[in-house]
Chain A
């Protein structure tokens, strides 16, 4: 079974609107971390936001927030007030802490296009 599932290959949103990118995960490790990265066409992976499995509150970083629903095993990224520069690939990733490693498992990604 896939550990990280991103069901939306592509999303379109107009500038200044909010958009939600979906991510579901599968793990038996009670301690894990969830990451979201942005990858523009240049290729660099830009860290956006992190949520730990024991964090009581949803993570927020500026215009980015993570809608963490532990029972549903979902960690959706919400981008408020989209900007043209938000057009990029977005990846959800997970680290299973009890593995002892820093290894990240990635989803297939969602391409976000922001139109004027």
Chain B
């Protein structure tokens, strides 16, 4: 079974630009969660999608948004990038019903200059 894939793996943007990150969950998994990891704040929850619906959202500004497609692939978008958005963005996949499964992708490392 293929694992969670994230693209791109690395990204460099400048302030004010926008960026879209993609996550493909494990086949059969319907829940995708996104996390931001920075040295200062650690791992912080962004949002969770289940069957194309956002069912939980963390405490991030509206510049951070996401969506999920019918094949469970998810994208997150960050508009008007700020220097502080530089981080490792991780997505996690789960079946949504079995709470003992949460598998992560390799992450997208975003650098904002």
Contacts and interface: CB of A to CB of B under 8 A. Distances in A.
Q: Size range of the interface on B?
A: 20 to 34
Contact of A95 (B42, B55, B58, B102): B102
A75 to B, nearest CB: 14
Nearest to A52: B100
B26 to A, nearest CB: 12
A97 B107 contact: no
A104 B45 contact: yes
Given A43-B88, A108-B42, A102 B31 contact: yes
Overall SS of chain B's interface:
strand
Interface of A: 33, 35, 37, 42-47, 50, 52, 91, 93, 95, 97, 99-109
Contact of A101 (B42, B56, B109): B56
Given A101-B56, A102-B48, A102-B99, A47 B43 contact: no
B106 A97 contact: no
24 contacts: A33-B99, A33-B100, A35-B102, A42-B106, A43-B109, A44-B105, A45-B92, A47-B102, A47-B103, A52-B100, A93-B102, A100-B55, A101-B55, A102-B31, A102-B56, A103-B33, A103-B45, A103-B56, A104-B33, A104-B45, A104-B102, A106-B35, A106-B42, A106-B43
A37 B102 CA distance: 10
